[in-house]
Amino acid sequence: MDTHQTETASSERNTRITRFIVGIVSLICLIVAGYLVLRTVLSPNEKKHIHALFETRASALNQKHLSQYLSCFSQDYRSGEKTYADLQADASQWFSQFTTIQFSSTLLDLEIQQDKALATNTYSFTLTNAEGKAIEIAQKELLELRREDEGWKIVRSLSP
């Protein structure tokens, strides 16, 4: 094989390698673009589901509907040292102790990444007992959410 043939073979090999690399990079770009498009398309729908979760929570509190309220939370729920069982006991106590509960919340920020989300919101509670004495609570909260088989659930309260 003379020098010219060797250079030609080497050049052809380099061309094939370059085309292969360009093909792989193009494929990766298509996959990433597809993922971003799907994420953009799915995100508004997921936001609707999460907004519905917060509406269900508010409605359940206002109606003192324990099972509906608890349906907003994962069985894995944690808030500091408190568990789902503690949440259930606390809510049951509120519903029996207070004659009326007025709850509202405003979603300030929502970050969704696949099956997890972080929601920042403010809420206000007015709890009124049988004597008419009202307790008002207002707070900002950070909640970790997870999409489970039954839909989006509150998994963790990250606020103080």
The number of beta carbons lying within 10 Å of the beta carbon of residue 119 is 23
Phi, psi of 141 (to 5 degrees): -135, 150
pLDDT at position 106 over 70: yes
Model pLDDT, residue 16: 76
Average pLDDT, the chain: 87
Percent of the chain at pLDDT > 90 equals 70
pLDDT at 34: 55
Cβ atoms of 110 and 143 within 8 Å: the answer is: no
- What residue ranges in 15-80 does DSSP mark as E strands? 73-79
The two structure tokens encoding residue 107: 């979603």
Contact call for residues 88 and 70 (beta carbons, < 8 A) = yes
Shortest CA distance to 153 belongs to which of 87, 64, 62?
87
Tell whether the model's pLDDT for residue 145 goes beyond 50: yes
User: Looking at the predicted structure, is the pLDDT value of residue 25 above 90?
Assistant: no
Residue 88 belongs to a domain with what CATH number? 3.10.450.50
Which pLDDT belongs to residue 160?
59
Burial 68-79, CB ≥16 within 10 A → b, else e: ebbebbbeebbb
- Structurally, the chain folds into a number of domains equal to 1
Q: What does the pLDDT look like over 65-97, one tens digit per residue? A: 999 999 999 999 999 999 999 999 999 999 999
Could you tell me if 90 and 70 are in contact, meaning their C-beta atoms sit under 8 angstroms apart?
no
Q: Which range marks the domain in which residue 144 is found? A: 3-157
Confidence of residue 19 (pLDDT cuts 50, 70, 90): confident
pLDDT at residue 41, as a whole number: 43
pLDDT band with cut points at 50, 70 and 90 for residue 6? low
Q: How far apart are CA 84 and CA 91, in angstroms?
A: 10
Tens-digit pLDDT profile for residues 28-63: 655 655 554 444 444 679 999 999 999 999 999 999
